[in-house]
Amino acid sequence: MTDFDFLRTGRRTIELELDAVQNLLKHLDQRFTRACELMLDCRGRVIVTGMGKSGHIGNKIAATLASTGTPAFFVHPGEASHGDLGMFTGDDVVLALSNSGETAEVVTILPLIKRMQAPLISMTARPESTLSKAADVSLHIPVDREACPLGLAPTSSTTAQLVLGDALAISLLEARGFSAEDFAFSHPGGALGRRLLLKVDDIMHTDDAIPVVGSTTSVRDALLEVTRKRLGMTAVVDDDGRLIGIFTDGDLRRTLDQEVDLKQTPIADVMTVNCTTVQPGILAAEALQVMQSRKINALVVTDADRQPVGALNMHDMLKAGVI
């Protein structure tokens, strides 16, 4: 154990980084607007580049842009000088990050970027730097002091870079009218993607996997169907194959309380009529809302003629990640 005051240092660090962000807010001007316009009008990709800690921040900015509707990727400036510059085209917009504006690997590729006539946006703390002067639009990061007491480790400056990158991405998102569904298409593996893209058709049991019996089937045989299909219920259909009811675990408990003859009683006498159904094509999340609002654990999916075309339960929702 030590008597060092970690809490005091942590608070001072956060305060210094908060100051950097507040200072950034005060200095935001029409150059930010111009940078957004260049990126919005870009016919190619936004190529983000930066070295060291600025490179790490640039990588994150590129990922945020790409996931919010602005095609973008990160290129390491050192690798750009050894072949990766072939990824750049005149239709792209380059966003270059360097706190000093003099990072050798970044400065080296500036003439080549200019030669291909790709618009260049800089993000630097020094407006008089080589990078800033070469840029079509120079975004200034006005950081007076790093949170590092030695003034060496990029801290306040990288925080400001990250915040400014987020500001660019979100401004472009709103300008494009980027929707939650658009976001889901970029994140099909995430929870949001599953809620906005997954349909009941993707997870429901179909064909022979649908538990279904006729109206004259005995309760005993209906229970065998419930057991075979393992969905905790079975659909009940008429002679034309149209859904007329459902028999669930809850119906079974009520049936047993009535001391019904399971071998002789037809399922139509104990089933639930006017059961809740959904149609194919709806989102799985919508079906989940129906199940939750009606306090049921399974659903039959029917077509326009009330023919069962699928079935699903809460376990299917859980397995698919909708819950």
pLDDT for res 189: 53
- Residue 191 to residues 28, 170, 285, 314, 318, Cα–Cα distance (Å): 35, 21, 11, 16, 12
Do 69 and 168 belong to one domain? Answer: yes
The answer to whether 66 and 72 have CB atoms below 8 angstroms apart is: yes
Which residue, 178, 213, 246, sits at the end of a domain? 178
Do 144 and 219 belong to one domain? Answer: no
- Contact residues for 35 (Cβ-Cβ < 8 A; gap 6+): 121, 137, 139, 168
Do 228 and 153 belong to one domain? Answer: no
Per the rule left: phi > 0, alpha: psi between -120 and 50, beta: everything else, 151 is left
Which residue, 178, 210, 230, sits at the end of a domain? 178
Rounded Cα distance, 117 and 139, in Å: 19
pLDDT for res 118: 95
Do 51 and 165 belong to one domain? Answer: yes
pLDDT for res 323: 74
Do 32 and 174 belong to one domain? Answer: yes
Rounded Cα distance, 112 and 299, in Å: 61
Mean pLDDT by 10 residues, the chain (323 residues): 86 93 94 97 95 96 92 93 88 96 95 94 95 96 87 88 96 85 58 69 94 95 94 94 93 85 91 92 90 92 95 90 78
Phi, psi of 60 (to 5 degrees): -70, -40
Q: Indicate which CATH number applies to the domain containing 148.
A: 3.40.50.10490
Do 165 and 25 belong to one domain? Answer: yes
Q: Which residues pair with 72 in a beta bridge?
A: 46
Do 170 and 257 belong to one domain? Answer: no
* Number of domains the chain is built from: 2
Asked if the structure places residue 130 within a domain, the reply is: yes
Asked if the structure places residue 185 within a domain, the reply is: no
Do 85 and 215 belong to one domain? Answer: no
CB environment 1-15: b (16+ within 10 A), e (fewer) = eeeeeeeeeeeebee
8-state DSSP, 71: -
Query: Domain limits at 302?
Result: 200-320
pTM over 0.85: no
pLDDT for res 186: 59
State the residue for tokens 């959904």. 278
Do 20 and 136 belong to one domain? Answer: yes
Do 260 and 161 belong to one domain? Answer: no
pLDDT for res 250: 86
Asked if the structure places residue 36 within a domain, the reply is: yes
Q: Indicate which CATH number applies to the domain containing 234.
A: 3.10.580.10
Asked if the structure places residue 207 within a domain, the reply is: yes
Do 138 and 43 belong to one domain? Answer: yes
Asked if the structure places residue 164 within a domain, the reply is: yes
pLDDT tens-digit series, residues 210-236? 999 999 999 999 999 999 999 999 999
pLDDT for res 321: 81
Asked if the structure places residue 261 within a domain, the reply is: yes
pLDDT for res 67: 85
Helix axis angle, 156-176 to 6-27, nearest 10°: 50
Rounded Cα distance, 66 and 102, in Å: 27
pLDDT for res 274: 87
Query: Which residue, among 214, 218, 219, has the nearest Cα to 237 in the 3D structure?
Result: 214
Do 17 and 154 belong to one domain? Answer: yes
> Which tokens hold the place of 259?
């001391």
Asked if the structure places residue 299 within a domain, the reply is: yes
- Across 141-285, the runs of DSSP E, i.e. the strands, are 212-214, 233-237, 243-248, 277-278
